[in-house]
């Protein structure tokens, strides 16, 4: 049955010109003004800072700030409706109560969702659109148009394979999928919080388990919601086959990176905080996603390394089983110096640095007899390679230089001697 919108609009105009409607509008405006005043008082007394409050009290105070306007509005409109009912028509006040009640429910639900999905900026825009949709449905229902609109939507449809899908089924399916996906995301976020609080679990295991739980919950949500609204899952087999072909040809690298990401997280071969080198990139692992791994070097530059590269190539992990790493400094001294004294100075220069480990102790070695002098090597160990090595190398070199200057030990440079024998020049 088609909806006579012209007659409906004429009825709305006629009702708006009725004196009862004007009185209801005036009373409604007063009620909304008092509710807004109550909201301002509550917001002023509760303040905005949550310092020193427990999580439960902070959530309760935030919920009160969001719900005081619609709840106060419902209460005031309900009282006014009860007082005016014996004297005038109260259809407008009834509509206002329904809309304010739906506003309170929407604000309460999205307040819970915002705290469940912390940092989800999309919820603010989604809340406004969802509130407008709910208010529209409530208004259409109260004026008696909603059943006719549903019939119109149910009469228009299209075929997907052998199945006939109507516009009303499509809207129901979209709403059901949104609701189930939100529930799945909420459950996944709650599971992630519980996993983060669990003691004794490896960080990588927490990450991979939380992501697997979220992915599984999303798949289950979609599989549950579609059959509820009458969508046959077998009709999606064509799309599943096309997706498989796309992954096989066009999305090989992306799929490989995702699989490699789960392998890294499950094997725990690379963990957060490890200092690794892959190719020309070296840095501390600050984030491991299912597609790439973030390396932050000592200059602050972050490199996004595809997970496929970490699985398929040689990776040097400086803190895989032990964070202690040995570094070596090469120093050359002249043949005329006291080499034992020079080696003792090298060891002492390393021992004065707080980052150098006492066990294993630093050691100086005589590595070669070079053309210009004796090659010495100072080896020392540190346990924090993620802090970088340039600063400690510089400090040790400066200490060696000042100690050599004080001890009279020279660092040679290339020299050539010219000798004249029996009138001929020899180099």
Q: Where are the domains of the chain?
A: 5-155, 256-317, 325-407
Say which CATH topology domain 256-317 has: SH3 type barrels. (2.30.30)
Domain 256-317 matches domain 325-407 at the CATH topology level = no
**What's CA 76's distance to the chain center, in Å?**
43
Query: 325-407 architecture in CATH?
Result: 2-Layer Sandwich (3.30)
Specify the pLDDT at position 121.
Answer: 57
Provide the b/e sequence for 101-117 (b: ≥16 CB within 10 Å): bbbbebbeebbebbebb
Tell me the pLDDT of the chain (427 aa) as tens digits. 444 445 544 554 555 566 777 777 888 889 888 888 888 888 787 766 555 556 667 667 777 777 888 888 888 888 888 888 777 777 777 777 877 887 787 777 777 766 666 555 555 666 667 667 766 776 677 666 777 777 777 777 766 556 667 777 777 777 777 777 777 777 777 777 777 776 656 666 676 677 777 778 777 777 777 666 565 666 556 556 666 666 566 567 777 777 787 788 777 778 888 888 888 888 888 888 778 888 988 778 888 898 888 888 888 888 777 778 888 999 999 988 899 999 999 999 999 999 999 888 999 999 999 888 899 999 999 988 777 788 899 999 999 999 999 998 988 877 666 667 665 555 5
- Rounded (10°) angle between helices 55-84 and 19-46: 160
Specify the pLDDT at position 199.
Answer: 63
């Amino acid at each position: 049955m088609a909806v006579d919108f012209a007659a409906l609009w004429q009825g709305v105009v006629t009702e708006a010109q009725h004196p009862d409607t004007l009185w209801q509008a005036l009373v409604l405006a007063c009620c909304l003004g008092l509710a807004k005043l109550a909201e301002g008082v509550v917001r002023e007394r509760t303040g905005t800072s949550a310092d020193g409050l427990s999580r439960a009290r902070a959530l309760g105070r935030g919920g009160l700030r969001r719900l005081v306007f619609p709840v106060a509005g419902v209460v005031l409109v309900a009282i006014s409706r009860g007082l005016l009912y014996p004297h005038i028509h109260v259809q407008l006040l009834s509509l206002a109560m329904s809309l304010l009640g739906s506003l309170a429910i929407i604000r309460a639900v999205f307040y819970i969702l915002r705290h469940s999905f912390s940092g989800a900026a999309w919820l603010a825009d989604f809340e406004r659109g969802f509130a407008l949709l709910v208010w529209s449905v409530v208004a259409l229902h109260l004026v008696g148009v909603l059943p006719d609109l549903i019939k119109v939507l149910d009469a228009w449809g299209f075929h997907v394979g052998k199945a006939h899908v109507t516009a009303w089924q499509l809207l129901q399916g979209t709403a059901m999928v949104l609701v189930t996906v939100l529930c799945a995301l909420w459950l996944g976020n709650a599971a992630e919080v519980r996993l983060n609080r669990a003691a004794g679990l490896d960080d990588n295991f927490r990450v991979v388990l939380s992501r697997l739980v979220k992915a599984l919950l999303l798949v289950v949500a979609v599989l549950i919601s579609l059959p509820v609204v009458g969508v046959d899952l077998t009709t999606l087999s064509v799309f599943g086959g096309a997706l498989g072909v796309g992954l096989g040809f066009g999305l090989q690298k992306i799929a490989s990176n995702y699989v490699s990401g789960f392998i890294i997280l499950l094997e725990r071969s690379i963990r957060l905080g490890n200092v690794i080198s892959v190719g020309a990139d070296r840095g501390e692992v600050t984030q491991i996603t299912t597609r790439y791994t973030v390396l932050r070097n000592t200059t602050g530059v972050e490199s996004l390394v595809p997970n496929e590269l970490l699985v398929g190539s040689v990776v040097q992990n400086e803190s895989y089983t032990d964070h202690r790493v040995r570094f070596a400094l090469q120093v050359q001294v002249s043949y005329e110096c006291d080499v034992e004294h020079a080696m003792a100075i090298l060891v002492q220069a390393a021992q004065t640095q707080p980052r150098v480990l006492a066990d294993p102790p630093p050691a100086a070695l005589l590595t070669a007899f070079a053309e210009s002098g004796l090659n010495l090597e100072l080896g020392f160990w540190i346990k924090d390679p993620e802090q970088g090595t340039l600063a400690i190398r510089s400090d040790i070199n400066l200490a060696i230089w000042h100690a050599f200057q004080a001890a009279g030990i020279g660092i040679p440079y290339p020299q050539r001697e010219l000798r004249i024998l029996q009138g001929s020049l020899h180099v």
